[in-house]
Amino acid sequence: MVLNAKNFGLAAGIWWGFSILVMTLVSAGTGYAAGFLNVIAGIYPGYSISLFGSIIGLVYGFIDGFVGFFVLIWLYNWLEAKK
């Protein structure tokens, strides 16, 4: 079965970007998940736990999710074709 890498990438990008956005907004108000988001801040340049940081996290999260899943599904399709 061949999977659509672009669609998987888009779905994962939207999901991960939105997740970072929501976690950042919740953490900015409550401090919840601040440890995890501080690790993310070390990975995504310019990201911080703030309103502006949530937008930056959304963009980085979308790119990260899209590229990661696109490559994963492309590799799956490539290996499936080698059978």
So where are the chain's domains? 5-81
Q: Are 2 and 80 in contact (CB under 8 A)?
A: yes
Residues 17, 41: Cα–Cα separation, whole Å: 14
Residues 21, 29: Cα–Cα separation, whole Å: 13
* Max CA distance (Å), the chain: 51
Residues 2, 4: Cα–Cα separation, whole Å: 7
Q: Are 58 and 20 in contact (CB under 8 A)?
A: yes
The mean pLDDT values, 10 residues at a time, for the chain of 83 residues are: 96 98 97 96 97 98 98 97 89
pLDDT at 83: 82
